[in-house]
Structure 1
């Protein structure tokens, strides 16, 4: 692969009246994230627990693996950005990756949640290989899938709506995985978690394949570069650095996703050990992801009244307050634990849809500012930040569990319980504060975006005379 990117100056299809999408197409797009989350939610919610309590790897080793592999995968995302911007097929430049990545994704997903009877060294090597494979496949499908938003419409409200459908699909997948996984394993494979996790992934993979195909068949790419012109790598880097809204929104999502990833993976520890109520795990997962789903559905309504920047600040502020309140709630006060968990989930669901709705706007901003339209690279750098956030959340979780003295499947010390509570409550609150500060500097509001689209349309019209 050479170090060039696609240039889109005077060659991009624009519309002065951006296309309004049908509900069916939005549902088809959302089905893609539903499919992705049969794997992604398993990784976020159960991967750490699977490695520490099923495979029995030390938490520090798992944390280091999460950090190294996800940083590596971030660079894979950037590579995918280059590949996407140089791809043209009869199906478009983005949708083919969904079509041809679905089956390999299923294979590596099943392998990743398998636990062969190897030595400790063999288990670590196997974990690294399969974890790298599943993260690489996430990049292969996830990066072009995310970029589809900018290719389907230029209507900013439609983009938020489209992102909401996406997040709803994501939340439905998350709810299914988080709630049903322990129930499926306990019902069909009690006392055999190794077989249970593997077979559960086989079931999920069948459904994922169906929803991937719905996404591929039901969506269309309408906004794209008609032809490509070489852009040197150094120039591409300069184009990225000039896109300040992209850098800010990527950082905001990095800290937001890191906080969400920590809460997701640590919830099972908090319920099992801090609350000592393993019977409530499915309920807490339902509250967490069900609340996120409702918050996501409210995001399009919120952005009709607030600028995206203010909606993000509101959501992150609420998440921070609820996290601090939950930390100081006694474990025996179950009703208030449930209240703060639900409120945190409801409010925390809003920023995700708004952030994903803001990201496509940075594609037009880049083209307006520099003359280059590079969806692949933009979504690649955003996905890099996303993977970096998961690296940070996974490493922090593993290291703090190890330092606090966590021992799998045992009565935990007060130090270990405090470490779990810190991870679930205060660390996400601190990350939310960082996101709020970054959001204060985000300037790409609706007025500026409308001006950008109008300028690009006029520029294209003049070039066709």
Structure 2
């Protein structure tokens, strides 16, 4: 008689300490694109600015349009050998280095080369998004309680943010080494391949850590269990539309990512045209990223003391206040760096807390609909991320236009109008986004720890 292997209960020491190393590898890999894709297209591949705009806009738009689909597919198809979600941590990541490298290789000239780069960018993102969504879905699979989900989210966030500190040293050096081996034009392709391999190896480490937490059901006598785990189109729609906390969380998550990406994009303008010292940007990035890591590390302590929901709302409100205070003091550069560092400390906390909140909405959805939509809901985390990347460019461009920006302006002669416009993008708009997030969570996300525990117990009693 075929028996079902018992699922592990409680988090292992490995998960408590090292879950998130895969995310560190993922961020190291994707940072090549974040920092070097544009300069590769303009300075190395020698594309015209209109062609660069065409390549980046096409790739990012398709990426955003596909962002919702990964969780839906994971939730709807037949599970593979090692489970519905865990299997994807080993099945897909090995393809990424080969696809991703061609995003930074120019083959031929003109439109053909541009099309090949776009195809490589889209294909590599599709491949890594399946693994990314499966990875975050495992938080709700292995984490059976709000405390366990908070633990996994905090550890993941700490490793993820630590990658930013590592990349500031590894990224430029690795590119320089590759330039010496395969040539300057293809240096970022070599770096992308190397860090893609690092990502695949570290996702495999996650695969091993989650062994026993997602048990594959035997073929016989499991129709009821399989029916609960497999979802159709209407099940996915209900999981979203009948889940007000999830909708509120998606709004708040969009604000969280907008805060991060807009700050990253505008910081260079702030230190060039307001601080008057572009070299300070390197120091600013290092300090704020260290604060981010510390915030992520401490998020579990705060969540256990105040609950994850309360911590997220409180921290976002404080971040908004810090940004608005910075705006009224934008000419005092040292004060701005201090306030922004504290705000980024808060980002580390909220970055760690939101996956745990998504876990709560997964429990609520299963309690309400009777269907486990973990992959679908976890995959929706991709949507705010991709939308925020798209809107970042619009926001930055609009603020620069408001200040009559021109690259020909001497930074020392920047007008107050331009400084004010840059500061609005750097401080006011992210603050407004965070205020909207606070309102959405206060009035839309009403899942308390007691309610989530109650829903989880009722779900368990149905099995």
Instruction: Classify the TM-score, shorter chain.
Output: 0.7 to 0.9
2:302 maps to 1:311: no
Task: Call closer, same or farther: CA 1:22–1:222 in 2, change over 3 Å.
Answer: closer
**How many residue pairs are counted as aligned between the two chains?**
444
Task: Call closer, same or farther: CA 1:409–1:164 in 2, change over 3 Å.
Answer: farther
**Alpha-carbon distance between aligned partners in 1 of 2:421 and 2:376, rounded to the nearest angstrom:** 38
**Alpha-carbon distance between aligned partners in 1 of 2:405 and 2:174, rounded to the nearest angstrom:** 27
Q: Is the 8 A contact 1:59 1:402 kept in 2?
A: no
**Alpha-carbon distance between aligned partners in 1 of 2:52 and 2:89, rounded to the nearest angstrom:** 29
Residue in 1 that maps onto 2:275: 275
**Alpha-carbon distance between aligned partners in 2 of 1:423 and 1:54, rounded to the nearest angstrom:** 30
Within-5 A mapping of 1:44-443: 44=34, 47=37, 69-85=59-75, 86-114=77-105, 118-119=109-110, 125=115, 128-182=118-172, 196-220=187-211, 222=213, 226-228=225-227, 231-331=231-331, 333-398=332-397, 400-401=399-400, 411=410, 414=415, 418-441=420-443, 442-443=445-446
Task: Call closer, same or farther: CA 1:318–1:54 in 2, change over 3 Å.
Answer: farther
Pick aligned residue for 1:444 from 439, 442, 447: 447
Q: Is the 8 A contact 2:320 2:435 kept in 1?
A: yes
Q: Is the 8 A contact 1:146 1:379 kept in 2?
A: yes
Unmatched tracts of structure 1, length 5 or more:
1-11, 461-465
2:28 maps to 1:38: yes
Task: Call closer, same or farther: CA 1:330–1:447 in 2, change over 3 Å.
Answer: closer
What is the Cα deviation at residue 134 of structure 1? 3.7
What is the Cα deviation at residue 37 of structure 1? 0.5
Task: Call closer, same or farther: CA 1:262–1:398 in 2, change over 3 Å.
Answer: same
After TM superposition, the structure 1 stretch with the greater mean CA deviation from structure 2, 419-428 or 27-36, is 419-428
What is the Cα deviation at residue 51 of structure 1? 5.6
Deviations 1:277-313 (A, max 9, x none): 3433432221121111111111111112213222112
Task: Call closer, same or farther: CA 1:247–1:450 in 2, change over 3 Å.
Answer: same
Deviations 1:163-193 (A, max 9, x none): 0111112111122224543466579869x98
Q: Secondary structure at the match of 2:66?
A: helix
**Alpha-carbon distance between aligned partners in 2 of 1:405 and 1:138, rounded to the nearest angstrom:** 39
What is the Cα deviation at residue 440 of structure 1? 0.7
After TM superposition, the structure 1 stretch with the greater mean CA deviation from structure 2, 150-159 or 212-221, is 212-221
**Alpha-carbon distance between aligned partners in 1 of 2:447 and 2:135, rounded to the nearest angstrom:** 23
Residue in 2 that maps onto 1:3: none
Task: Call closer, same or farther: CA 1:256–1:344 in 2, change over 3 Å.
Answer: same
Aligned Cα root-mean-square deviation (Å): 3.5
2:11 maps to 1:21: yes
Task: Call closer, same or farther: CA 1:285–1:87 in 2, change over 3 Å.
Answer: farther
Q: Secondary structure at the match of 1:292?
A: helix
What is the Cα deviation at residue 112 of structure 1? 2.9
Name the TM-score, length of structure 2 as normaliser: 0.83
What is the Cα deviation at residue 144 of structure 1? 0.9
After TM superposition, the structure 1 stretch with the greater mean CA deviation from structure 2, 56-65 or 90-99, is 56-65
Q: Is the 8 A contact 1:63 1:395 kept in 2?
A: no
**Alpha-carbon distance between aligned partners in 2 of 1:440 and 1:348, rounded to the nearest angstrom:** 18
Q: Is the 8 A contact 1:245 1:362 kept in 2?
A: yes
**Alpha-carbon distance between aligned partners in 2 of 1:370 and 1:208, rounded to the nearest angstrom:** 36
Task: Call closer, same or farther: CA 1:231–1:335 in 2, change over 3 Å.
Answer: closer
What is the Cα deviation at residue 380 of structure 1? 2.2
Name the TM-score, length of structure 1 as normaliser: 0.82
After TM superposition, the structure 1 stretch with the greater mean CA deviation from structure 2, 27-36 or 147-156, is 27-36
Q: Is the 8 A contact 1:153 1:222 kept in 2?
A: no
What is the Cα deviation at residue 63 of structure 1? 7.1
**Alpha-carbon distance between aligned partners in 2 of 1:408 and 1:137, rounded to the nearest angstrom:** 37
**Alpha-carbon distance between aligned partners in 2 of 1:404 and 1:124, rounded to the nearest angstrom:** 33
Q: Which has the higher contact order (CA 8 A, sep 6+)?
A: 1
